[in-house]
Amino acid sequence: MPFQDILAYVRTDVGPKSDLQNTSFPRRAHGWNAMPGFGEPGVLRDPFGWIGAPEKGALPRIGRGIYPKGRYKKVEFMKTIFVKPQSVVKKWYLIDAEGKTLGRVAAEAAKILRGKNKAEYVPHQDLGDYVIIINAAKASVTGNKMEDKIYYRHSMYPGGLKAESLEKMLQRKPTYPMEHAIKGMLPHGKLGKRLFTNVKIYAGPEHPHQAQQPIAVEF
């Protein structure tokens, strides 16, 4: 129906119980009484928005979320931020694990690797930074985990199951417990494998990344 014909049905002397309720205009399911502003003289609703009396200057809304100036507030929609991989600036962070709980060090490293400390974080992108962990062999554990914590591996041959305690693992491969903990906190897929390459773990206090000028992390 043309806009001029719709305005022909609008009168300034009608109220909430007028004969306009019996017209053939489409209405929403919540009814006339639930509509905001209903009862105002000369106001009628069509499928495309509010229409008022011509002398009031009310016009139907134009487009989705855009309302006539001076009568309705314009709706602003938030824009989704998508960071391009080539625009990501990666920093280097240094964590000294000496005297710190192994799990807490791993959790802090995983958070930085994932980029959860950034406002533009999204779970499907590599927005994290590089992490250097030194003194990984000197990280502490609580309770009796040195003997109770067991690492398993299998040679894929019958009877090839191997079990090794945390204490023996630190003697054979000092960085493995920290690597195992961090890897378990990252996504188990292609993204997680790519993120794991951004962490550098060293058993002692020395590391070859002084040129990157890493930022020390304290927690």
Across 35-60, average pLDDT = 45
**Residue 81 near residue 120, CB atoms below 8 Å:** yes
User: Model's pTM, two decimal places?
Assistant: 0.64
Q: Which residue has the tokens 């003289």?
A: 41
Q: Are residues 199 and 107 in the same domain?
A: yes
Among residues 36, 56, 76, which one ends one of the domains?
56
Span of 33-47, 61-75, 134-148 with lowest mean pLDDT: 33-47
Q: How confident is the model at residue 79 (pLDDT cuts 50, 70, 90)?
A: confident
SS3 201: strand
Residue 21 has what pLDDT? 46
Q: Are residues 98 and 176 in the same domain?
A: yes
Instruction: Count how many domains the chain has.
Output: 2
pLDDT score of 17: 44
Same domain, 43 and 118: no
pLDDT of residue 202: 98
Looking at residue 149, which CATH number applies to its domain?
A: 3.90.1180.10
CA distance 213 to 20: 74
